[in-house]
Chains A and B, each alone.
Chain A
Amino acid sequence: MSDMETAGIVVVGGSLAGLRGAEALRNGGYTGPLTIVGDEPYPPYDRPPLSKHVLAGALDAASTELPRLVRLNARWRLGQTVVALDRIARVIGLADGSAIPFQSLLVATGAQARRWTRAGSELAGVFTIRTRDDAAALRSALASVPARVLIIGGGLIGCETASCCSDLGLPTTLVDSNPAPLSRVLGATVGNVIAGCMMDAGVDFRASTHVDALEGAFGKVVRARLSDGSAIETDLVVVALGAVRETGWLSRAGLLADSGGLTCDSACRALNVEGQPDLNIFAAGDVARWPNAHYGDRLMTVEHWGNAIEQAEHAARNILSDPSDQNAYRHLPAFWSSQFGINIKTVGSAEGAEAAAITQGSLSSRRFLAVYGREGHTVAAVSFDEARWLPSYARRIEIKATFPPVPGAIDQERVDVVDPGFPAPRELAGATSSVRQEAAHA
């Protein structure tokens, strides 16, 4: 690559947001040069199946490639990491020493699995799940029938992995620092439903417990030491402690970025350390942290599939529009998960909810719809095999409908209001604090 090439639009990130953003640029009429840089060697692939079908052995990790919706006519630089950004000269530098000039930059670098940094991080048999390679490696380890799988972290990925391992008939332990699985996302009240599923499936769930250290023999993990003093004999550990964002190249260039994300304005434009938007740099997907108008302009990153697409398309529209004609990105977070035979779907952000109302079904039947409220408004809803009315609750979140909902639904007259049981905000929650956590682990 020479520095002499015509500067066009450069997309950094070769996954879902990068691909859909690039396609939206072409759909939006952009015909100039388009470069897509990705740090993995593979063309864009779909991640949701990695922690489900791929681990189960139902789908090959290599068969997850994303469908292309538009002829991109782009220059692909795969297997290349961006290491530098010069915002004045408008050029990025790659790890191989080459440079790519840009007119506009779309940062869609996603997030990376948080690694195990405490004792035992060097041992074989310790896995994370984020990439195709991660999933392929973990799948082959599971296929060789480990004596016991230990999963660290009871978030979505940890729970899906536990579900998958129990389906495979593998003895499984899940250690969670919270009182119930999914507590951070949905609260312990709903999380306890999953805890019940785990118990029925024979998963050994350890609540409110930390893993202090992993111990090995001959370079391979054999045991985990827990904070309650006990130990678990295990030959396969899955670290599912959430994600961090590699944004060093952005913060070094004077942008407001850390391991929690790259801060943007409402139009998805990256902010510099003075808090001013850089008119040529946009962000989308897991890496983007932007003020969400649905939640009082609270800065939010959304690590879900739907947001990657929607935000990338939105950023692409703004890239192609005049700086005086930028649209604010309004997005209601949503995700789905399948685990223990249950289809979980959510809309909104339950974070900080003070109460939850069971509007359909019941927790005991494991089939229900729960609505979350904060300061008298509806802020989120989650369904366990009961997604039928979810779009209506999404609408009620958008219009900040009052909470609790008025009883009298056609399929259930009563509304039970319960404490959602969110753990106290941990020191580590949020962007700045995750930096702190890394420091603590280091």
Chain B
Amino acid sequence: MTTLSNRTETVTMNSEREWEQCYAELAPRLVLYARQLTPCMADAEDVVQNAFVRWWRRCPTGDREHVPLLFAAVRTIALDLRRGTMRRNRREGESYLAEEAREPGYFDSTAEQKDLARLVAASMEGLPEEQREVVTMHLWGGLTFAEIAEAMGASINTVAARYRYALKALQRKLEPMKEALMEPLTTPTLASMARPERLYQSQS
């Protein structure tokens, strides 16, 4: 029996390393996606915790082909959480999307990319939720349109259209400073241009 228990310990350790590797790769993308559906980082992390644990118990190999399932789980749990919170807040007379609950912090921005990160995050906030979901899953989650369609329960055409609309909208918002953004991001002009408030003013 010693052999069997030793083997069990070895396999457990290997499996732990496997889930940790998988987690390290997927967690930032999942949290970013969950952030699109939840008002704060704490909620997004709770959602990712639940989804990842459920997913890993079901797919302990962490295969790439099962990743869309994980995004689908994040979506389902986030929407459930939101429904529950909205019901509770209605009872308590609070607004779910209270302004103070909204936190920035979508992207891991270095000093040079700080402005770009803030600008993109602010621009993303202005998009409809479905478009934000598609953009997040495709650009930062690495999912194909077919996988996104599966995760969202929509057709591929719908997903592609949402992506197109979202990029058009982002392009409209970022176009005025595109030149500056594409250059090395340390230019002083960028810091003055990258104010989300200015973007919204110019739009309206």
Q: Do A and B bind each other?
A: no
Contact residues of B with A, CB < 8 Å? none
